Amino acid sequence: MAYIEIKDATKWYPHKSGKLRDIFRKDKSFVKAVDGVNLSMDRGEILGVIGESGCGKSTLGRMLTRLEDPTKGDVLVDGVSTAELIKKDPLKFRRTVQIVFQNPFDTFTPRDTIQKILLRPLKHHKIGSSKEERLEIIKKALEAGGLVPAEDIMQRYPHELSGGQLQRISIIRAMFLNPSFIIADEPVSMLDVSVRADIINMLIDLARNHDASVVFISHDIALTRYISDHVAVMYLGKVVEYGTADEVINNPKHPYTKALISNCASIDPFEELATIAIEGEPPTPINPGPGCYFAPRCSMACEECLKKYPERYEVSPGHYACCDRIES
Amino acid sequence: MNTVLSVQNMNVTYVNKSKRVMAVRNASFSISKGDSLGLVGESGSGKSTLAIALLGLLPKETTEITGKAIFLEDTDLLSISEKEMNELRWKKLAVVFQKAMNSLSPVHRISTVFEDIYRVHEPHATKEEIHAATVRLLKLVNLPERVYHLYPHEMSGGMLQRVAIAMSLLHSPQLLIFDEATTALDVVTQGQILKEIVQMEKELETTRIMITHDMSVVSSSCNKVAVMYAGEIVEFGYVKNVMVHPQHPYTKALLKSFPALKGEKRKMESIPGFLPDLSKEIPACVFAPRCAYATERCRAEKPLFHSREDGSGTACFLTEGGAD
Amino acid sequence: MKAVLSKCLRAFKADGQLRFGVIGVIVLLLVIILAPILAPHDPYSYEFVRLLPPGSEDHFLGTNHMGQDVYSMLIFGVGTSLKVALISALISGALGVLIGGLGGFLGGWVDQVVSEIINIFLMIPTFFLILLIISLFGNSIANVMIVIGITTWPGNAKLMRAQALSLRERTFVRSAVALGETKTQILFKYILPNGIFPVVANTTRSMAGAILTEASLSFLGLGDPNIISWGQMIYQGKSYITSAWWISAFSGIAVILTVIVFYMLGDGLNHVLNPKYNYGRSK
């Protein structure tokens, strides 16, 4: 059995038109932000989740960390249901599952020093027995993360540090709790290009040397390929393609993945861009279906596609795609 | 060669009571007709300041601009009056910003906005004239004709950005400046717009400066590239040379921070250290403190921009004479 | 601590309104402390020389119809005004912050109930409510302060609620949730400290309003008759306005000056406590 199992993760928001008749309507419509996602991960694996804005990848991340309650579904960590864990022992759940946010400039309260900010979770989770011991833990962790001189950093306020430094501190703080499941929601998209590698390498280190399973949510496909073992492509709340990173990105099968990857600007100026155009823009996921959600924009769509949601096919071992019209 | 814009020794300094921040220092480059130049750099590199200064959009009280920016042989963008600048804007010089979608008035239809802008320079144009001109441009950026009658809130971000691009083309300007114009867009939309821009340029022969932090955007849409660091242009050249054989250590390091989409995975590396304090004179190479190859000389003396015949070159002691 | 102090000092130097307000409040406080020295007469002592005009020997702002020294009354009136301002502002601020903060932070039905209560209170004509309560429960100064406090909190609650609503979505609040902090901890550690400053500024400004309200009540004869307050002086001077203008005039000027001081302090605080304000330091 896989170490992490995401089972039927679903988040529907009731869709309000803002009119009074909403109250009386029985057939409520829903925004299906995340719609039945099933994924599994091994220990120490990094899973990349890619997709355009509005595809539900961030909602998925927030749901996995229970910052939002799922409408349906559960996540098993090492066979333990997190839905039950959070009811029985919320602090233990927090120690198991951690998140790294997109905006490092807003991750820490602006009114406290880094030292104060980092002491809080240690105290809250009773890590270290005295203040001195906790300060020592913080100092060591900062130094290990390349934040030197640690004593100086600890006395600073968040706005006095750079985005790269803050994001490293954010990861360090998550690591204090020794989590086994970490969600990184666009952790580098707000950072300068030249410091991204630090964060990426820290996340890789987390997976390889601390045996944590990492979900890496990003819209940067090249970066996701670099960091991930497996990649899941999301479109309108559903995973449309899943496989090993190289397989999905070099040999995409789903028409959406194909278009997505073909539109990626490459830094190689000699690479001819054979972009596949997609008609229109991603629609909002208000009551999509019943057919394939991508069908209205898909160049390969036929009658059948508009009628029922396609099955999941294993196109090659470990590589899955949800499309009825894949030529193998 | 038909030079559209020639920037010579341009400096931009932000001044306030206690500090003088030299955001752009001694920048020189030129761009000829029909060419496309990517201006890349990270935050704090001065790339946006440079563009905004060229457009005369910096507040006069708090900035000092020196140098020259000769536009179309006779106009110096840096010394003309606001009135003269207004004459040029839209007509000969147009700009598209990152959040162009936010700059469209929410209570007016697209048609109204286009009419207003068109009439700035052609006060007597008829509605039909403007409609015809607009529809042609909308087609160019892959938008259907019905967009003309829509309100901004009825369109997605990608469509609005396309509208903004079409709007900038309204008077067929000689020079287009895109300031992170595709940054906020989705991968697919960005890819398509970039493609459209390149295609459009073949038809219209416009000249374009593309300001971005994303090397891959430059790589797939520009002919030349200027790499900026800490307010200075450290490398200039053809995209096909710079991206494959970068000369300046900063360009090299920056390219290493971008993972490749295809092929083998190179190890991603960060550039250690921080941007220097721009409020102080730097008498040495600006990149030396973070450079893996810096020598004594780099820390003591300022390398000048060493340019070859075609204008390409670097500001680095290690690459003087063009040797790698 | 040192950093906070130096920040305050910079803000003090940079913001003219704040400077005016702070100095004004310090002067008012000094007047309260030094009242027995500053006042040449006991304001409660009645003399035979009534309605002496200003400039008289021994009573340079004159005396009132009871023969009390107007100048000494003004000095002792500062204490009443400040007490009313401070305590009613504290009540109004505390209520507003707690109720508004809870509503905004918890959201859902709590927020709906809170919003409706705020709206109802905003709709009630406050001054008439005050009049009603005072006439029902008596006109002691304590009642006046409490009533002003509980009728002005909705403004603060509205501000705090808006702050809490936006803070709730901030990443640092989310990350506190992800680290397992409880709702109470988050409310007191993140929401209130980060959102309280506009309320502080608003409360300071509403102190000016409280002073005016107390004066108005006294003017209508609903003040506490056992203490000296400026409003009371204006009220008493009303009947003599043609023959002895100074009774009302000087106390009126005192009210205006104090109100301006608090208003300036509030406005200055509003500038300085704004997170975007950079304390006169360049970026």
Same-domain status, B63 and B203: yes
Q: Give the pLDDT score at C49.
A: 65
> Using CB atoms within 10 A of its CB, is residue C132 exposed (0-12), middle (13-18) or buried (19+)?
exposed
Is residue A147 within 8 Å of residue A175, measured between CB atoms? no
pTM equals: 0.85
Is B321 a residue whose pLDDT tops 60?
no
Question: What's the CA angle centered on B286, arms B285 and B291, to 5 degrees?
Answer: 80
C281 and chain B: CB distance < 8 Å anywhere? yes
Is A101 a residue whose pLDDT tops 60?
yes
Residue of chain A minimizing CA distance to B158? A281
Is A22 a residue whose pLDDT tops 50?
yes
Asked: is A4-110+157-321 a CATH 3.40.50.300 domain? The reply is yes
Q: Give the pLDDT score at C280.
A: 43
Residue C278 pLDDT grade (very low, low, confident, very high; cuts 50, 70, 90): low
Cα–Cα dist C26/C32, whole Å: 10
List the single range of A313-317, B68-72, C66-70, C135-139 with lowest mean pLDDT. C66-70
Candidates C251, C260, C126; CA nearest to C204 is: C260
Say which residues have a Cβ less than 8 Å from residue B75's Cβ, sequence separation at least 6. Answer: B84, B88
Is A84 a residue whose pLDDT tops 80?
yes
Candidates B277, B310, B313, B317; CA nearest to B294 is: B317
Strand pairing report for B306-307 and A72-77? unpaired
Q: How far is CA A119 from the centre of its chain?
A: 27
Q: Give the pLDDT score at C9.
A: 78
Is residue C180 within 8 Å of residue A94, measured between CB atoms? yes
pLDDT mean across residues, chain B: 86
Residue C53 located in a structural domain: no
Say which residues have a Cβ less than 8 Å from residue C24's Cβ, sequence separation at least 6. Answer: C257, C258, C260, C261, C262, C264, C265
Query: Higher pLDDT residue, A278 or B190?
Result: B190
Cα–Cα dist A245/A322, whole Å: 17
How many domains would you assign to chain B? 2
Same-domain status, B221 and B117: no
Q: Give the pLDDT score at C274.
A: 64
Share of chain B above pLDDT 70, in %: 98
Enclosing domain of residue C111: 15-37+70-273
Q: Give the pLDDT score at C282.
A: 35
- Chain C residues within an 8 Å CB radius of B18: 281-282
Tell me the HSE value of B11 on the side-chain side, using a 13 A CA sphere: 13
Say which residues have a Cβ less than 8 Å from residue B37's Cβ, sequence separation at least 6. Answer: B29, B31, B208, B209, B210, B222, B223, B224, B225, B226
> Mind telling me how many Å the CA of C175 is from chain A's nearest CA?
7
- Chain A residues within an 8 Å CB radius of B239: 269
Tell me the HSE value of C173 on the side-chain side, using a 13 A CA sphere: 22
Give the mean pLDDT of A150-162.
90
Is C124 a residue whose pLDDT tops 80?
yes
Residue C183 located in a structural domain: yes
Give the mean pLDDT of A155-181.
92
Same-domain status, B51 and B110: no
pLDDT tens, B245-290? 999 999 999 988 888 887 777 888 888 888 888 888 888 899 999 9
Residue C135 pLDDT grade (very low, low, confident, very high; cuts 50, 70, 90): confident
pLDDT tens, A229-244? 999 999 988 999 999 9
Looking up residue B185, the CATH number of its domain turns out to be: 3.40.50.300
C197-219 and C246-273 helices cross at what angle (nearest 10)?
170
Give the E-state strand segments of chain A in sequence order: 4-15, 29-41, 46-50, 72-77, 80-81, 97-100, 181-185, 213-218, 230-235, 238-244, 313-316, 319-321
- Chain B residues within an 8 Å CB radius of A259: 188
- Nearest by CB to residue A192, choosing from B43, B157, B268, is B43
Supply φ then ψ for residue A119, to 5 degrees. -70, -35
Give the mean pLDDT of A141-146.
91
Tell me the HSE value of C84 on the side-chain side, using a 13 A CA sphere: 34
pLDDT tens, C50-89? 667 777 777 777 777 777 788 888 888 888 888 888 899 8
Is C281 a residue whose pLDDT tops 50?
no
> Mind telling me how many Å the CA of B33 is from chain C's nearest CA?
39
List the single range of A258-262, B176-180, C17-21, C205-209 with lowest mean pLDDT. C205-209
Q: Which chains touch C (3 or more CB pairs under 8 A)?
A: A, B
pLDDT mean across residues, chain A: 88
Q: Where in chain A are the domains? A: 4-110+157-321
* C-alpha to C-alpha distances, A326 to A49, B164, C246, nearest whole angstrom: 22, 38, 96
Is there a contact between A269 and B220 if contact means CB atoms under 8 Å apart? yes
Residue for token digits 């038909």?
B2
How many domains would you assign to chain C? 1
C197-219 and C141-168 helices cross at what angle (nearest 10)?
160
Is there a contact between C179 and A177 if contact means CB atoms under 8 Å apart? yes
Residue C93 located in a structural domain: yes
Residue C89 located in a structural domain: yes
pLDDT mean across residues, chain C: 82
Cα–Cα dist C173/C167, whole Å: 7
Give the mean pLDDT of B115-132.
86
Give the mean pLDDT of A139-158.
90
Q: Which chains touch B (3 or more CB pairs under 8 A)?
A: A, C
pLDDT tens, A272-316? 667 777 776 666 777 776 788 888 888 888 888 888 888 888 888
Same-domain status, B39 and B115: no
- Nearest by CB to residue C178, choosing from A65, A110, A120, is A65
Residue for token digits 């500038």?
C271
Q: Which of A197-226 are b and which e, b meaning 16 or more Cβ less than 10 Å from the residue's Cβ?
A: bbbbebbbebbeeeebbbbbbbbbbbbbbb
Q: Give the pLDDT score at A19.
A: 59
Is B80 a residue whose pLDDT tops 90?
no
Residue C55 located in a structural domain: no
Is there a contact between C281 and B19 if contact means CB atoms under 8 Å apart? no
Supply φ then ψ for residue B212, to 5 degrees. -160, 165
Share of chain C above pLDDT 70, in %: 92
Enclosing domain of residue B99: 93-170
Supply φ then ψ for residue B151, to 5 degrees. -95, 155
Is A203 a residue whose pLDDT tops 50?
yes
Same-domain status, B115 and B219: no
Looking up residue C240, the CATH number of its domain turns out to be: 1.10.3720.10
Q: Give the pLDDT score at B322.
A: 42
Tell me the HSE value of B320 on the side-chain side, using a 13 A CA sphere: 8
Same-domain status, B245 and B224: yes
List the single range of A98-112, C110-124, C256-270 with lowest mean pLDDT. C256-270
Tell me which of A88, A107, A170 to substitute to probe the interface with C (most C C-beta atoms closer than 10 Å). A107
Give the mean pLDDT of B68-75.
81
Cα–Cα dist B114/B112, whole Å: 5
- In one-letter notation, the amino acid at residue B33 is K
Interface of A with B in 277-306 (CB under 8 A): 277-278, 281-282
Residue C54 located in a structural domain: no
Longest dimension (CA), chain C: 75
Residue A324 pLDDT grade (very low, low, confident, very high; cuts 50, 70, 90): confident
